[in-house]
Structure 1
């Protein structure tokens, strides 16, 4: 729907209710019909002249209400809007000169309201100025009472500016509602992406561990080892934990801790025959970085278990005045590497925290490095990005 149609519908979605609002909004101006009607009512004009004048007034009012209440198309141009507006303008110019009566000088007031509500601001101002000049010129031609045209000019200008303000307010309200709807849509989209990313990370890690333990339990079972039952119990425990984490992720209450993820990584890597070495330096991580690096450990561990064929993995963590650095490396076969959804999502998280994520695959294995600057630097970078936008 065009901007013009949206203004005249007053934000309504129901056709009849919208027309009622428009009629109520425009009906205040109908008081100006008193002047041409009074000439017939008080007997100043009678006979055929009275009939012609009332017929002309009815025709003008019909066209005017057609402009205000007419149906709106959903394309860029409301149906019949501009043709009817042209006819109403012609009547406003011709009738005062035809009947040579000061009472008919009020017709431009009606036109000004439509101009102010329906035309773009620059054209509306031109229309208001044209109607004001028309009232003065017609007043001189028909010999209206001294001062009457100037009173109408003041009313034309005042009402024109007033209804332009009303129109601008309506447009801003429509834009605000659209912006709120768009913000809600983007928030819902972001939440769906968050849940999808979290589920990928959770299920990828848990299912990889379940597959490894299942293979181990099968081999142990074939050998008749009593450890098979313990591995099956571990599989059940991992599955239950994964189910609980999925429920928490969907509910939005899940919170990861780096220490827990390192313990989980140690268990998963041990099941895959990979030795894990962990080194930490500096002070404890703040809560936001603890959760972020927990994600990084989970994703890197999943990749080691799935793809690397490594026998050793190292996790190196440091946090101090220069920021936080997490590096995870393995001695796997390396080779061609293309980042999947997990590492792509992890990169988005790190960048959202103001840091950088680096990944490298080579002959010596795979390396992941996440570096996040201290809070003061991250704040400065965010401010600089906002200013750049």
Structure 2
């Protein structure tokens, strides 16, 4: 909830610029208007605000007629109050939110000419028109920069979603292939042996029991292989999992730094840490909205420490899902795993530690 509120209050949000409409009332401070002027001014402003928010929520061709309306409001109110020029500044800002095009350039030039014409027709001093031109230029430039940043962020999020979807689809296909390869032959053998044991049950009970024992052994082996296939552990090491995670993250547009300065003591440890890397990378792709990821290992207290950090929005916790299961697996190997913020309110860091050969519990 707090993140949504902060997002709504971000200075990049165009509706926050409506606070500058307060300049419209500046002249009223030293020259109080009549009731008719107050009513007309407030009604016009309310209509403009409604159209402004509507058009900027869409950010399409509707911005042009609303910007034209804003410019006309400015031209209409400037002979009455110098604060009416704020509408011309808003017209420039609204055009700035649009992608660069000839139409936008023509619109901005038209706003500048309207400011000069209004200043001349209302016999305002030259500095007044100059100030309006400067404010309009600043508003248009700032809006253009903000719009470009928002489009870049949207493109980055879209790339991350596509990369996450591709990674998920690749994982589903891998599991399907592994299960087919593992179970096709195994289930065929189990079926044949079960049929054979059924036929031999009365005539040769000893041989039937032998076949049943083999079925039990094959089933246990198949179960272990299926678990490995589903968990993605077959022929996986920390190094290969890191390389795969780096590939997926970079494909999503993230910068990845890898520093593998220490190696696991056993294959089981390598498998466990590989799972941590894969789960952390998946969470970063799906949820973090990060730009940079660091994966490193280092020697610590006679063991190996793995750290995966990102500069995303943070908020990840161990919980009872994938990270919770991995924490239990790491603890079963006499290690520990922590999930927390890189710094207060930003990013997430996943740390896991496992002892070296002959190492015990870490205090």
TM-score range, shorter chain: 0.5 to 0.7
The CA distance in 2 between the partners of 1:166 and 1:250, in whole Å, is 44
For 1:206, the equivalent position in structure 2 comes to 186
Contact kept in structure 2, 1:136 and 1:149, CA below 8 Å: yes
Which ranges of structure 1 fall in alignment gaps of 5 or more residues? Answer: 1-10, 257-389
In the alignment, does 2:77 pair up with 1:95?
A: yes
The CA distance in 2 between the partners of 1:182 and 1:88, in whole Å, is 39
TM-score, normalization by structure 1: 0.50
Contact kept in structure 2, 1:135 and 1:153, CA below 8 Å: yes
* Deviation of the 1:175 alpha carbon: 2.6
In the alignment, does 2:23 pair up with 1:32?
A: yes
The CA distance in 1 between the partners of 2:105 and 2:157, in whole Å, is 27
Change (3 A) 1:129 1:20: closer
TM-score, normalization by structure 2: 0.54
* Deviation of the 1:152 alpha carbon: 1.5
Please provide the CA RMSD for this pair: 3.7
Contact kept in structure 2, 1:248 and 1:254, CA below 8 Å: yes
The CA distance in 1 between the partners of 2:60 and 2:141, in whole Å, is 24
Aligned residue among 14, 29, 54 for 2:38: 54
The CA distance in 1 between the partners of 2:5 and 2:166, in whole Å, is 24
Q: How does 1:298-317 map to 2 (within 5 A)?
A: none
* Deviation of the 1:12 alpha carbon: 6.2
For 2:111, the equivalent position in structure 1 comes to 131
Contact kept in structure 2, 1:63 and 1:88, CA below 8 Å: no
Contact kept in structure 2, 1:213 and 1:232, CA below 8 Å: yes
Q: String of CA shifts for 1:321-354, please: whole Å, max 9, x gaps.
A: xxxxxxxxxxxxxxxxxxxxxxxxxxxxxxxxxx
Change (3 A) 1:12 1:133: farther
For 2:164, the equivalent position in structure 1 comes to 184
For 1:249, the equivalent position in structure 2 comes to 229
* Deviation of the 1:58 alpha carbon: 1.8
Which ranges of structure 2 fall in alignment gaps of 5 or more residues? Answer: 237-363
Aligned residue among 93, 100, 116 for 1:121: 100
Q: How many residues in Structure 1 have an aligned counterpart in Structure 2? A: 233
Q: String of CA shifts for 1:208-245, please: whole Å, max 9, x gaps.
A: 11123234444555653743332221111111111121
The CA distance in 1 between the partners of 2:105 and 2:56, in whole Å, is 24
* Deviation of the 1:164 alpha carbon: 0.9
Q: How does 1:1-389 map to 2 (within 5 A)?
A: 22=13, 25-34=16-25, 37-38=26-27, 40-43=28-31, 50-70=34-54, 84-96=66-78, 98-99=79-80, 102-117=82-97, 119-122=98-101, 123-218=103-198, 220-221=200-201, 224=204, 226-255=206-235
